[in-house]
Chain A
Amino acid sequence: MLAHRLLNPGMEQEDDLSDRAISTLSLDLLPDWYDDWAVADAEEWRQLRLHALDALAGRLTAAGRFADATSAALAAVKAEPLRETAHAALIRVYLAEGNRAEALTAYEHYRELLSSELGLEPTGRIQALIQDLLRP
């Protein structure tokens, strides 16, 4: 399965880094089905695909495919806006392609969202990504 292959380094297939992979991982399972059995399976798939999207964004970034990496990271952010690793993946893409301003904007967006929703600050891990951008 695509998601499992992406989460196990060395197992991915050639097509696993394609646009189709991003589309597949962006979809909820049976989105309009609300029977108990469907909801449980959908939640399990949701968790799996979130991790897989993070991994896919990282692989695409390493491959220099920054547009696709951005798509994968944005899909992860959209699926779970308060999940820090998704925002970190997006920031890493921007930094890898040299877009420092966009990286900082992405961080500020996450920081404001976290503050408004939960009254919290981002962790030191994600702050470390943009630390150099904040120095005068």
Chain B
Amino acid sequence: MIIRAWVEHGSSMPLRARIRLTIDVGSGFESETTLADVPAVSAAVELWLQDVLRDGEPP
């Protein structure tokens, strides 16, 4: 997961966080989205980490 964040000063919600996801970094990015509030970004990171943990569990 790569998060690039910047601030749009003057906006009612100034955070901009563009999130790019890949399961296999060698295959490129699979999805991309932009979020504007911290809880949403945190939730996306948490979900991604849960996926990482689940995918890493032994069969």
Contact = CB atoms under 8 A, between A and B. Distances in A.
The finding on whether chains A and B are genuine partners in a shared complex, rather than unrelated, reads yes
A82 B34 contact: yes
B9 A36 contact: no
A123 B9 contact: yes
A18 interface: no
A120 B12 contact: yes
A109 B35 CA distance: 19
Interface residues of A, number: 21
Given A82-B34, A123-B9, A123-B11, A34 B26 contact: yes
A91 B18 CA distance: 23
A36 B25 contact: yes
18 contacts: A34-B22, A34-B25, A34-B28, A35-B26, A47-B4, A83-B6, A83-B16, A84-B8, A117-B34, A118-B16, A118-B36, A119-B36, A120-B36, A121-B11, A122-B11, A123-B9, A124-B10, A125-B9
